[in-house]
Amino acid sequence: MVSDILVASNRGPVSYALREEDGTLQARRGGGGLVSGLSAIGPDAGAVWVCAALGAGDREAVRRGVSEPGVRMLDIPAEVHEAAYNGIANSVLWFVHHLLYQTPLEPVFDAGFRRRWEAYRAYNRAFAEALAAEAAPGAAVLIQDYHLALAPGMLRELRPDVRIGHFSHTPWAPPDYFGMLPDDVARELLEGMLGADRLGFLTHRWADAFTACCERVLGGTGGTEIGVHGLGADGEFLRARSQEPDVADRMSTLRAQIGDGSRKTVIRVDRTELSKNIVRGLLAFRTLLEEHPEWRERVVHIAFAYPSRQDLEVYRRYTAEVSRLADEINAAFGTPDWTPVILHVKDDFARSLAAYRLADVALVNPIRDGMNLVAKEVPVVSDAGCALVLSREAGAYEELSEDAITVNPYDVTGTATALHEALTMPEAERAERTKRLAAAATALPPERWFLEQLEALRAVG
Ligand code: G6P
């Protein structure tokens, strides 16, 4: 079966769990902007989504020939995937684009790196070959993210007839930082991306950084079109989903944990991800309790930090540090009837929505973030208005800075001051700001975001 529209990404719209008891496979559909975006073209459009088999369940599904309509899972050898995904994409490219290398010990580009880079090439080639085989003449192929930076160039060589788009869901590193990559690798990455007809970014800032890297390393972008599409929240879906009974149940549970009904609530919802800056967020909350003792017993910080990328040691250490610090704050300030930090690590979407609805303040303080959809979802769902404390390094800052209280994410004292300001914001002002934030946050919902890119790709001259 060949298709006119193809999407390619590491993580696909479905994953399979293998039940130990009876060996059956259970399909789980994922969420996210791309999944809802793709639904805009309808089930009859015959789009094909090419993704990697990620765990034992996915691999078993491929082996048994089990699949969902429109999804093609690639069974890339486990060691190649591991080296490409954990060894290069998440350890090197993610770190470069989020400015996460902060020690004299990292990064080291040695023989081990070269072997992993070879795997990254093989992984990209597997995608390029599958896409080349599935694409109808002149098809539109939309390749996603830093995992697949080489695939556009590789596909271009195999299939000069197709239209190739690439979209970066992450920030892009500034040239001085990008320059830490070995020169040949930097060149290969940029040339791979420029194999596309059109490149998409979430903000002007990331697009400009990419252009600046191309100018520095290659002398220019060679005529590839570059566009900015700031993915917005799916307002319609979120409003409906947040009114479901399971969300109301979670609100009751959270209210019971908060205790006294007059207490204010500061929430955060993240993957436990180094770039999300959860530890400095907790330090800022502690500083708030130290500098403004009037908030003791009167505010609770609800932190949802859902485990992510636990194959990487640095993520496991970070996850442990988040728990340790939350315990330390609770031990230092807690009273028999007040737990200052309520930390939940088990992913629960209904509970996240419940927190969005009841929060007085949302803390979104990433070191650097492609967009950050939590900042966009909270104002849409909030019941009575929620003040947003937002890092100036989040992509969402470009659209939300006017009505958020903005912070330098490294400045713990400044973040504590911003939390105080947010907690004392008059209710009417908070409600007004939340309304404007919600409007800005839903300006480009996922379906339009996707269609815009598809149309722009087809229109490339
Ligand atoms: C970011 C990336 C996505 C990725 C997601 C979760 O948002 O841009 O491509 O899927 O993080 O990370 P994971 O490594 O679990 O896929």
Distance in angstroms (rounded) separating the CA atoms of residues 88 and 147? 8
φ, ψ for residue 206 (rounded to 5)? -70, -40
Residue ID of nearest Cα to ligand 1 atom 10:
11
User: Which among 439, 257, 287, 459 has a CA at the least distance from the CA of 363?
Assistant: 287
Superfamily of domain 235-441: Glycogen Phosphorylase B; (3.40.50.2000)
pLDDT tens string 249-266? 999 999 999 999 999 999
Given ligand 1 and candidates 14, 308, 310, which is best to mutate, with the most ligand atoms within 8 Å of its CB? 308
Q: Do domains 3-231+446-459 and 235-441 have the same CATH topology?
A: yes
- How far does residue 461's CA lie from ligand 1's centre (Å)? 32
Residue ID of nearest Cα to ligand 1 atom 4:
11
pLDDT in single tens digits along all 461 residues of the chain: 699 999 999 999 999 999 989 999 999 998 888 888 888 887 788 899 999 999 999 999 999 999 999 999 999 999 999 999 999 999 999 999 999 997 788 999 999 999 999 999 999 999 999 999 999 999 999 999 999 999 999 999 999 999 999 999 999 999 999 999 999 999 999 999 999 999 999 999 999 999 999 999 999 999 899 999 999 999 999 999 999 999 999 999 999 999 999 999 999 999 999 999 999 999 999 999 999 999 999 999 999 999 999 999 999 999 999 999 999 999 999 999 999 999 999 999 999 999 999 999 999 999 999 999 999 999 999 999 999 999 999 999 999 999 999 999 999 999 999 999 999 999 999 999 999 999 999 999 999 999 999 999 999 97
| Domains of the chain by residue range | 3-231+446-459, 235-441
Non-local (6+) Cβ contacts of 362 within 8 A are 266, 267, 268, 356, 374, 375, 378, 386, 387, 388, 389
Distance in angstroms (rounded) separating the CA atoms of residues 397 and 80? 37
| Predicted pLDDT at 324 | 98
Residue ID of nearest Cα to ligand 1 atom 7:
169
Which atom of ligand 1 lies nearest, measured to the CA of 147? Answer: 9
Interior angle at CA 311, CA 275 and CA 328, nearest 5: 55
Given ligand 1 and candidates 145, 201, 276, 347, which is best to mutate, with the most ligand atoms within 8 Å of its CB? 145
Please state which architecture CATH assigns to domain 3-231+446-459.
3-Layer(aba) Sandwich (3.40)
pLDDT tens string 317-371? 999 999 999 999 999 999 999 999 999 999 999 999 999 999 999 999 999 999 9
Query: What pTM value is reported for the model?
Result: 0.97
